[in-house]
Structure 1
Amino acid sequence: MQRGKISFGKIQLNINQPPDGPNADANEDGKESGSSGGGGFKKMDKQQMIRQIEDVAEDLESQHLKEVMGISGFGRKAAQVFDINEQIAKAKITRPGVEKKREVPEQEEEDVIGPLPPAAVEDSKQGCKDEATNKVEDSDDDCSSDEDSDDEQSLSKRIPYTHEVQMQHGSRAVLALAGDPSGARLVSGSIDYDMCFWDFVGMDSSMRSFRQLQPCENHPIRSLQYSVTGEMILVISGNAQAKVLDRDGFEKLECCKGDQYISDMSRTKGHVAQLTSGCWHPFNREQFLTAALDGTLRIWQGLKAKEQCQVIKTRAIGGLRTNASSCNFNRDATLIAAGCVDGSIQTWDTRKMFVNTTHCVRGAHQKGAEITSIVFSYMGQQLATRSNDETMKLWDLRKFKQPLNTWNNLYSRYDTTDCCFSPDDRLLVTGESLPKDQAEANLYFYSTKSFQEVQRIPVSNSHVVKTLWHPKLNQLFVSCGNGTIKCLYDEKRSIRGATLCVVKTHRKRQQMEMVGISQIITPHALPLFRQEKSRSSRKKMEKARMDPVKSKRPDLPITSGQGGRVASSGGTLSSYVIRNLGLSKRVDDDQDPREAILKYAKDAAENPYWIAPAYKVTQPKAIFSEKLPTDTEPSTKKPRTEADN
């Protein structure tokens, strides 16, 4: 029986070709397969075969397709079971130009060497339909995800203010507030000289600080800030010397004070007037910046430095001296910005000499009104300033002559009232002092793009001084004029921080009663009335340990007894032998041994057991020694004389 033969040649991968083409007719008739299959081995001469084999070997793309199709060579190993849809998907990933090649005519498509499975065309059609449906579904998913992202991007929903927690610092206004970069701790300073440390991990729902101290004696705390690593805290107070504390509040550095009788402030070792502001370097943990009312900004380097390393002078119109009320670094530490009392904003490039300003905007705010805060955005392209002239302005560093927008009617009583950016730079937040005609002070949220008011949150019936939006916790901390600190957070969007404290219940401590003992020292008192000398606690403890009553010593184990009964005395080996081996009855060791023996004399005489039976035959009657008569007693002993010697 003659069967049809399959010849191998160049087969084009035409996925869209119907199964009833000329190749299908040729495959049905084995004899015609060699002629209509694109050229078989019978009609090919050797040179053409060699030329085709060389072309195939040189064609790297076809070799790659062979590996993708799972065909390693001619013969039985070439006919492997594989999924055409999976192979097409792999070819899409490895060859990004496959989809574009589908639009090219058939003659320009790349040839594939090897047999094509009979169900390949149907599978490829089904794969194309599946891909089309997947594209439609993906486009629908993209549209829905875009809608969700639009909902998430609504600015009012980005503000974490659904829940509120209150912390009590004291009774006076809280002027300074700073958060640890990791979000584990918070520090606050007030006008009553106190500085409180708050630990979110150790606090419970009572929200009490774990440490309170006065680092600068009788000076109010104006500004606080953690270093970039969170190891140290910069304390700016009302005196001329800034301090650096460690994480637990212990002093690490106190800046030196300058000579107030020297007119040139660049020749003094430190500030000579009250500090107004200060901040850490963004990425140098030992460098910080301070501003004071002596008309200078000073850069300090290291914790052992006795004087500053750089002095920057703020100048008014005409070269006169003006004081800086706020200062700050930008995010990459290339600019230093200062807000001055004369209403000007001045910046310096840290890569150049601090002689001339990089930017100087005169009349940025009202003259004589302090610029209480100057903050760079996280992207570094925008700058926000807050002033006591009841305004807040947003500036673009690329066009620094005019502000982008000005917000008015923001009443402020404190020279430390600040503003801050949201972590995504889309919102600008500030607080207001309580006006006379209002019941509560508000927290304002403005958009940095549309400049519209997004949200207004009433905070307290007192002034709002400091505002801190922590980027890692996504929580808002607001300090008030009545000594309270309020934390606003969202249960879904906020993490750690105050959310760890509200779930912990407050446990009351047991009250301990302590009675003081007064000691009267009488060195010449009689021994009867003499008191013991006061000893150390260790000696008292050792003495009490030896006393069985004070140490509450338990009863010692029983070491003597028999049959469950405790012997009154006797724990030796002899008493044990007598009690168990020698006698059947119990013998008390505390009685007279003579009486104990004589009480058996009558019984021993009547019923002898040990000695009498042995002498019963030879000596039936016992003979005992008797006393001599008194007459035969010898006379008194004669004294010894010399003749006897």
Structure 2
Amino acid sequence: MATYIEETKKHFQSNGRTKEMSAHNAKVHSVAWSCDGRMLASGSFDKTVGLFNLDKDKIRLETTYRGHTDSVDQLCWHPSNPEQFVTASADKTIRIWDVRSSKSVAAVNTKGENINICWSPDGHTIAVGNKEDLVTFVDARTHKPKAEEQFKYEVNEISWNNTNDLFFLTNGHGNINILSYPELKPLTMLRAHPANCICIEFDPTGKYFATGSADALVSLWDVAELVCIRTFSRLDWPVRTISFSHNGKLLASASEDLLIDIAEVETGEKVAEVSIEAPSFTIAWHPSRYLLAFACEDKDKYNRDRDAGTVKLFGLPSDV
């Protein structure tokens, strides 16, 4: 009987095609899937948001949203409503979008240039962090800020745990800070990496979370014990973005290396890799399939001074 790793390697051998979609006029900063996997959204330096529709193995750009007046740096979808997502921009606002509308349904003013955003698992709260390390908590129903927390350290990425009662931050000292939620009382600090701890992601099963660091390592942590289980070390450059597959069995990680590493979580063994031509700072697994959306700092084929602004999808059948 073939092992899971063997089966998965075989899957990607026959489903290893990457499709490239033109979406923006400048660098793509963020890609994310709706919870039902029908929609993929992308945010760009060109101030726009692209919305793609996935139908079986066909994906097409459906809408381009405008409204932000500066770079769209990160976006995320409502955890259970497949029609709503939120964007964080350097224009000192966040915008909430509904795919049934041609414009944003709400714009919330914030106190700085926003660089990271996440939606609480219960769908009630949106947390947004800015360049001054201020995190603002916005009521997702009233669109009004309900709390804010100023941190004395560099906050890189933020996330709730899957049970909505803890709030995690990665910081510039290589640590993970954990706060109670909603009280926002500091509970503990994990010394995760010797260098800047850049990104954090919880696996869908709630068993693990992972962090990526400037030391080029990805660390896998046990949620219940808060201990590091293993590290993944195939990349040579700072790990900028990580993503767990829908079943929590695969972990993809990307950096300035010209590949995206796909590892089996339980062993750390390489299952596949995606060859790329430029650094990638955003990746996202589909919520129910082995399809990986990502974007790179590609240049236009005909004008190397211009960004390509493309969004890519890996994991499509090779014979199509």
TM-score grouping bracket, smaller chain normalisation = 0.7 to 0.9
Matched, 1:156 2:15: no
Structure-2 change in CA distance of 1:341 and 1:275 (3 Å) = farther
In the TM superposition, residue 339 of structure 1 has moved relative to its aligned partner by 0.7
Query: What corresponds to 1:54 in structure 2?
Result: none
Instruction: Provide the secondary structure at the position in 2 that maps to 1:331.
Output: coil
Matches within 5 A, 1:293-304: 293-304=131-142
For the Cα contact (< 8 Å) 2:295–2:311, is it kept in 1?
A: yes
In the TM superposition, residue 391 of structure 1 has moved relative to its aligned partner by 2.4
Q: Which has the higher helix share?
A: 1
Query: What corresponds to 1:21 in structure 2?
Result: none
Compare relative contact order (CA 8 Å, sep 6+) and give the higher one, 1 or 2.
2
For the Cα contact (< 8 Å) 2:15–2:315, is it kept in 1?
A: yes
Matched, 1:391 2:217: yes
TM-score computed with the length of structure 1 as normaliser: 0.44
In structure 2, which of residues 116, 120, 129 is the aligned counterpart of residue 277 of structure 1? 116
Structure-2 change in CA distance of 1:397 and 1:419 (3 Å) = same
CA distance in 1, matches of 2:57, 2:250: 31
Matched, 1:427 2:250: yes
Matched, 1:472 2:302: no
Query: What corresponds to 2:306 in structure 1?
Result: none
Instruction: Provide the secondary structure at the position in 1 that maps to 2:205.
Output: coil
Q: Size of the alignment, in residue pairs?
A: 307
Matched, 1:226 2:77: yes
Cα deviations by residue, 1:384-420 (Å, 9 ceiling, x for unpaired): 111233222112234435553252644249xxx3101
Cα deviations by residue, 1:131-174 (Å, 9 ceiling, x for unpaired): xxxxxxxxxxxxxxxx26x3686442354733332211235321
Matched, 1:355 2:185: yes
Write the letter of the residue equivalent to 1:310: A
For the Cα contact (< 8 Å) 2:92–2:112, is it kept in 1?
A: yes
For the Cα contact (< 8 Å) 2:219–2:228, is it kept in 1?
A: no
TM-score computed with the length of structure 2 as normaliser: 0.84
Instruction: Provide the secondary structure at the position in 1 that maps to 2:138.
Output: strand
Aligned Cα root-mean-square deviation (Å): 2.9
Matches within 5 A, 1:463-542: 463-482=279-298, 483-491=309-317
In the TM superposition, residue 366 of structure 1 has moved relative to its aligned partner by 3.9
In the TM superposition, residue 234 of structure 1 has moved relative to its aligned partner by 0.6
In structure 2, which of residues 131, 147, 155 is the aligned counterpart of residue 310 of structure 1? 147
CA distance in 2, matches of 1:389, 1:151: 30
In the TM superposition, residue 178 of structure 1 has moved relative to its aligned partner by 1.4
In structure 2, which of residues 37, 40, 46 is the aligned counterpart of residue 192 of structure 1? 46
Structure-2 change in CA distance of 1:361 and 1:224 (3 Å) = same
Q: Which has the higher strand share?
A: 2
Instruction: Provide the secondary structure at the position in 2 that maps to 1:166.
Output: strand
Structure-2 change in CA distance of 1:185 and 1:401 (3 Å) = closer
Write the letter of the residue equivalent to 1:419: I
In the TM superposition, residue 346 of structure 1 has moved relative to its aligned partner by 0.9
Matched, 1:452 2:281: no
In structure 1, which of residues 167, 170, 195 is the aligned counterpart of residue 21 of structure 2? 167
Cα deviations by residue, 1:99-145 (Å, 9 ceiling, x for unpaired): xxxxxxxxxxxxxxxxxxxxxxxxxxxxxxxxxxxxxxxxxxxxxxx
Matches within 5 A, 1:110-149: 147=1
In structure 2, which of residues 33, 37, 44 is the aligned counterpart of residue 183 of structure 1? 37
Higher radius of gyration, 1 or 2: 1
Write the letter of the residue equivalent to 2:47: Y
CA distance in 2, matches of 1:156, 1:408: 17
Cα deviations by residue, 1:12-63 (Å, 9 ceiling, x for unpaired): xxxxxxxxxxxxxxxxxxxxxxxxxxxxxxxxxxxxxxxxxxxxxxxxxxxx
Instruction: Provide the secondary structure at the position in 2 that maps to 1:467.
Output: strand
CA distance in 1, matches of 2:136, 2:180: 14
